[in-house]
Amino acid sequence: MPLTQKIATYCAVVPLFVTTHSVKQPLFLVPESQLLQKLAKRDEQAFQWLYDQYAYVLYGVVLVIVEKPNTAAQVVEDVFVAAWADFDTYVPRQGSFLTWLLNRARLAAHASINQQEADQLPGNSKDSTEVDNLMADEHRILLHKLYFCGQTADQLAASIQLPPQKLRRLLQATLQELKHVFSR
Amino acid sequence: MNIPEYIDSGILESYALGAVSDQERREVQCLSAIYPEVRQELDKLTLALENYALLHSTEPPPDLQDRIRNRLTMGAPAQPTTNDEPAADKGAKVVPLHREVPTFQVAWVAAAAVGLVLIAFAYFLINQLKTKQAYADELAQTNSRIQTEVGQLKQQQQYNTQLISLLQTPGVETVRLAKANPAGAQADLIVYWNKADKQVTLQVESLPALPADKQYQLWALVGGKPVDAGVFSTDRQQLQRTARTIAAAEAFAVTIEKVGGSPTPTLSTLLAMGKVG
């Protein structure tokens, strides 16, 4: 644990000096722009690309939220089918396609579990070990709660007893740190 | 609105995490459409969140792909009118990204190729020019040589024509003069004496060269007395007609005299002699 803390501190401090770097693009075989063109046609290859590129990340995120592999598979299945049908409602101007898919998947995952189960989630125990080493503990737990536990900002503010303005500053620090982690 | 301050306010981070009110969400969407700086920062934040999500990637069950495929309808959606605008939007964004780079490169390659061709062509032209110049020089040399030869031939021709017409004239006496003193210098010349008009023409075949102040003089011997028949040069290129007329002669002789000639011959310098008939 001291080692983790040391790394976490290191990560929290060092990014201050690399603020000008841009965030790394996720590496995919097919650029998003090409995939979108293909998807407009809805052909077999479009689905192959879509599945190959995004199934792992969607399944992984949903699994963290719902915990059960069977439920996760079902949620991902529904998300793909719905996205396939609703693709025309995606507006590239408002964000990347992956973010659009992730948000849908998270919503669907949260909808599939009931609130009591969500509350019972132990917070950071299911987090990826890589992230463990990347960020300050406080920020990591906060991010996990927001991203995977479906907690709203208000719920979060209440649970950690912070005024909304302070919570906003905390979120800012968290996300800026995340940004710097992926800038390196 | 102060954009750097807005970006720094933390609202973009809250938006990316979904922790904003509806009003704030509309505000962020509106501003990010107007200000590229806002858009850029927002893109960076969402990219970071995507990377965060990607860290959690897990292999899905093997049958998931087929389960999904079985539920999908393949082929373009039936109502194209509703998605006309986004499709056009996508097209406008995507096409340049994939066309720009190759067109650029092709243009460069084409320009380089054209440049190479031009250089090669210029080199070829310069070589051609050099060859032609050498050829022209050679031609000029040949030309001047031929001109000289033609000049010589013309002179020769004139000489021959004169000689032939002289020989064809009736009454012309041909007198060959040979050296008078057996020990003297080589001296050969021919005198053509036209008895009708009394003209004397000389053809020099070989005579020793003279100093600048001396000249050859021809004498006609009439009754043993020498008569001045005029001075002449050693020019072998043309027939020489003397300035005096000779009415009668038994023989002709040549002496060396001072320039312009003498009234009486200097017998010690008698060089050549020949009898008429």
Which residues 145-174 in chain A show a CB within 8 A of chain B?
A: 146-147, 152-153, 156, 167-169, 171-172, 174
**Residues A156, A164: Cα–Cα separation, whole Å:** 9
Residues of A whose CB is below 8 A from B71:
77, 81
Element containing residue B4 per DSSP (H, E): helix B3-8
The pLDDT of residue B83: 44
**Adjacent-strand bridge partners of B218:** B254
**DSSP for chain A, written as a single string:** -HHHHHHHHHHHHGGGGGTTSPPPPPP-SS-HHHHHHHHHHT-HHHHHHHHHHHHHHHHHHHHHHH--HHHHHHHHHHHHHHHHHHGGG--GGGS-HHHHHHHHHHHHHHHHS-HHHHHH--SSTTS-HHHHHHS-HHHHHHHHHHHHS---HHHHHHHTT--HHHHHHHHHHHHHHHHHHTT-
Could you tell me if B94 lies within 8 Å of chain A, comparing CB atoms? yes
Q: Which of A116, A110, A105, A103 is nearest to A81 (CA)?
A: A105
- Residue for token digits 């986004």? B86
Of A56, A77, A131, nearest to B68 by CB-CB distance is A77
**Adjacent-strand bridge partners of A71:** none
- The first and second tokens of residue B36, run together, are 């590229």
The pLDDT of residue B114: 96
Residues of A whose CB is below 8 A from B58:
56, 59-60, 63
Check whether domain A2-21+138-181 has CATH 1.10.10, yes or no: yes
Q: Which of B188, B182, B198 is nearest to B244 (CA)?
A: B198
By DSSP bridging, strand B251-258 and strand B225-232 are: unpaired
pTM: 0.49
User: Are A51 and B68 in contact (CB < 8 Å)?
Assistant: yes
Mean pLDDT calculated for residue range A31-36: 83
Per-residue pLDDT tens over the stretch A99-114: 899 988 988 888 887 5
A51 CA to chain B: closest CA distance, Å? Answer: 7
Of B10, B58, B97, nearest to A169 by CB-CB distance is B10
**Which segments of chain B have a pLDDT < 50?**
80-100
User: Are B55 and A131 in contact (CB < 8 Å)?
Assistant: yes
**Where do the domains of chain A lie?**
2-21+138-181, 42-113
| End-to-end CA, chain A | 23
The pLDDT of residue B147: 96
Residues of B whose CB is below 8 A from A63:
56, 58
Element containing residue B173 per DSSP (H, E): strand B172-179
Which residues 100-119 in chain A show a CB within 8 A of chain B?
A: 102-103
Confidence of residue A9 (pLDDT cuts 50, 70, 90): very low
The pLDDT of residue A134: 66
- The first and second tokens of residue B118, run together, are 């031009």
pLDDT surpasses 80 at A149:
no
Q: Are B217 and B257 a contacting pair, CB within 8 Å?
A: yes
Could you tell me if A88 lies within 8 Å of chain B, comparing CB atoms? yes
Instruction: Output the CA–CA distances (angstroms, integers) from residue B61 to A50, A71, A105, A107, B40, in the order listed.
Output: 16, 11, 17, 21, 37
User: Are A169 and B50 in contact (CB < 8 Å)?
Assistant: no
Confidence of residue A2 (pLDDT cuts 50, 70, 90): low
The residue among A38, A125, A178, A180 with the most chain B CBs within 10 A of its CB, best to mutate, is A178
Could you tell me if A61 lies within 8 Å of chain B, comparing CB atoms? yes
Instruction: Kindly provide the ipTM of the predicted complex, given to two decimals.
Output: 0.75
**Residues B187, B258: Cα–Cα separation, whole Å:** 19
Give me the total of CB pairs closer than 8 Å, taking one residue from chain A and one from chain B: 178
Could you tell me if B64 lies within 8 Å of chain A, comparing CB atoms? yes
Q: What is the dihedral of CA B253, B258, B259, B262, to 10 degrees?
A: -60
Residue of A nearest to B50 (CA): A99
Same fold, A2-21+138-181 and A42-113: no
The pLDDT of residue A130: 56
**Residues B13, A174: Cα–Cα separation, whole Å:** 9
**Residues B193, B252: Cα–Cα separation, whole Å:** 10
Of A47, A60, A91, nearest to B57 by CB-CB distance is A60
Mean pLDDT calculated for residue range A137-148: 81
Of A47, A128, A174, nearest to B55 by CB-CB distance is A128
Per-residue pLDDT tens over the stretch A35-84: 888 888 888 888 888 898 899 999 999 998 888 888 889 999 999 999 88
b/e burial code for range B27-54 (CB count within 10 A of at least 16 → b): ebbebbeebeebeebbbbbbbbbbbbbb
Element containing residue B66 per DSSP (H, E): helix B64-71
- The first and second tokens of residue A181, run together, are 């982690």
Residue of A nearest to B31 (CA): A94
Q: Are A165 and A42 a contacting pair, CB within 8 Å?
A: no
May I ask the CATH architecture of the domain A42-113? Orthogonal Bundle (1.10)
User: Are B58 and A91 in contact (CB < 8 Å)?
Assistant: no
Q: Domain B172-275 class? A: mainly beta
